[in-house]
């Protein structure tokens, strides 16, 4: 990963700093239901306030497709940010032009404004240079603190960074440092947990990881396809049988790269995915024809917990089972707690990300006990695939 500028490199005193954040928050009946993304960017906002900057927040909300849509206004979010920040946040009815200029002119050093939804303008998603120039005209410096948006070459994440002195915010800095520690310069042995329903959605992830990790734990329904490819009967389980050759090719490549793939040895099975249904623990060699594999079994968990004691880095994307329906959460919860315990003891670097992963770790009660848990979603997945993220590249000191 290239070196990138941070807030330490940015002159902020008595300057107007445009800060790209991700305030695409979950809402219900006009109220924010999860403040995680706000809380992640508060350190950057507060630091800029303390340094005497006029802080101007830029964000998208929803998918208005370049049209003004009152249902996707950021106005309700301004109040939420103000409450978490414990200070007023001025709201502008546009993100460029007279409305934005007036809102910025109304704030002083150490004060905050939030501009209206960037995606009300088609130039945002098309990375239009003219739109980026209109944004740049509003400020003296630029900070990107939205890793979750940086896999898109949009005007506010890519073009704008080239028009003003630019730096990564503290949230972005923490994310990039954690990702680098997990894959680019890891403490070995390094293991990756990859779960999910289908191999087809994570082919690029698997291909990238087997070249960089020592152990690859495959869980969730996608493990069924690998088991099927090895000749096991997975009963009525979800399985992409048409990708058996692909699974075998991945296994062969992993062996060539010195990466050991770990598949379930036993499983918790049931007739259907329902809470409270009768379950049975069986060997992978003896899955009943009419039953579905819905979680890894205790033997698998025990083996992974023992192996975990020798690993120094773990990267996690996807649950081991259908954790939303207890008792099919047991495998995920047990391994998550074991990883959290080793992390807290200072023996493991643990980095996790992806929507289902965050939900699973929160369910296990260990989100705050991992080294870093990314809320980036698509950007985290594309990083796992080894793709270059435009918003990150734009911040690089040694761009090429």
CA distances for 87 relative to 79, 84, 110, 385, angstroms: 10, 8, 10, 40
351 CB-contact burial (10 Å; exposed 0-12 / middle 13-18 / buried 19+)? buried
Q: How many residues does the chain have?
A: 400
Sheet holding 266-270, edge to edge: 280-283, 266-270, 292-296
CA distances for 117 relative to 64, 86, 186, 322, angstroms: 9, 22, 38, 36
Instruction: Please answer whether residues 372 and 174 qualify as being in contact, where contact means their C-beta atoms are separated by less than 8 angstroms.
Output: yes
360 CB-contact burial (10 Å; exposed 0-12 / middle 13-18 / buried 19+)? buried
Pairing of strands 280-283, 266-270: antiparallel
Q: What is the pLDDT of residue 56?
A: 98
- Cα distance between residue 320 and residue 264, in whole Å: 9
- Look up the pTM and report it: 0.84
Could you give the count of Cα atoms lying within 13 Å of 19 in the half-sphere of its Cβ?
35
Structure tokens at 239: 């399985």
Which parts of the chain sit beneath pLDDT 50?
400
Q: What is the pLDDT of residue 206?
A: 92
Specify the domain boundaries for CATH 3.40.50.1260 within the chain: 7-169, 186-384
Q: Tell me which fold the domain 7-169 belongs to.
A: Rossmann fold (3.40.50)
Q: What is the pLDDT of residue 51?
A: 96
Q: What is the pLDDT of residue 398?
A: 62
Could you give the count of Cα atoms lying within 13 Å of 85 in the half-sphere of its Cβ?
29
Instruction: Please answer whether residues 161 and 395 qualify as being in contact, where contact means their C-beta atoms are separated by less than 8 angstroms.
Output: yes
Q: Tell me which fold the domain 186-384 belongs to.
A: Rossmann fold (3.40.50)
Largest pairwise CA distance in the chain: 71
Q: What is the pLDDT of residue 400?
A: 44
- Cα distance between residue 126 and residue 131, in whole Å: 9
Positions annotated as catalytic residues are 37, 198, 355, 378
Instruction: Please answer whether residues 308 and 339 qualify as being in contact, where contact means their C-beta atoms are separated by less than 8 angstroms.
Output: yes
- Cα distance between residue 388 and residue 292, in whole Å: 38
């Amino acid at each position: 990963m290239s070196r990138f500028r941070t807030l330490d490199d940015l002159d902020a005193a008595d300057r107007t700093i445009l800060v790209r954040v991700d305030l695409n928050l979950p809402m219900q009946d006009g109220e924010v239901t999860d403040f995680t993304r706000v809380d992640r960017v508060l350190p950057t906002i507060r630091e800029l306030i303390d340094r005497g900057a006029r802080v101007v927040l830029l964000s998208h909300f929803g998918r208005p497709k370049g049209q003004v849509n009152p249902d996707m206004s950021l106005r309700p979010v301004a109040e939420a940010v103000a409450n978490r920040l414990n200070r007023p946040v001025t709201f502008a009815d546009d993100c460029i032009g007279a409305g934005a200029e007036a809102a910025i002119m109304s704030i002083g050093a150490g004060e905050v404004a939030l501009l209206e939804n960037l995606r009300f303008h088609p130039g945002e998603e098309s990375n239009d240079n003219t739109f980026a120039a209109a944004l740049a005209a509003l400020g003296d410096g630029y900070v990107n603190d939205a890793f979750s948006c940086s896999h898109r070459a949009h005007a506010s994440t890519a073009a704008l960074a080239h028009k003003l002195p630019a730096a990564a915010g503290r949230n972005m800095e923490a994310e990039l440092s954690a990702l680098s520690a997990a894959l680019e310069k890891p403490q070995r042995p390094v293991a990756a947990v990859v779960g999910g329903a289908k191999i087809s959605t994570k082919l690029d992830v698997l291909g990238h990881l087997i070249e960089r990790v020592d152990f690859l734990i495959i869980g969730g329904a996608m493990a069924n396809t690998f088991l099927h490819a090895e000749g096991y009967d997975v009963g009525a389980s979800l399985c992409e049988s048409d990708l058996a050759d692909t699974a075998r090719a991945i296994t062969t490549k992993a062996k060539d790269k010195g990466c050991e793939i770990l598949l379930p040895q036993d499983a918790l099975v049931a007739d259907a995915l329902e809470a409270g249904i009768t379950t049975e623990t069986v060997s992978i060699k003896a899955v009943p024809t009419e039953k579905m594999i819905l979680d890894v079994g205790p033997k698998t968990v025990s083996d992974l917990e023992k192996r975990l004691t020798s690993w120094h880095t773990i990267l996690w994307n996807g649950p081991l089972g259908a954790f939303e329906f207890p008792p099919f959460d047991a495998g995920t919860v047990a391994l998550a707690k074991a990883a959290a315990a080793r992390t807290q003891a200072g023996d493991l670097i643990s980095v996790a990300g992806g929507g289902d992963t965050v939900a699973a770790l929160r369910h296990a009660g260990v989100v705050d006990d991992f080294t870093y848990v990314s809320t980036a979603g698509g950007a985290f997945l594309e990083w796992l695939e080894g793709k270059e993220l435009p918003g990150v590249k734009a911040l690089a000191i040694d761009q090429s």
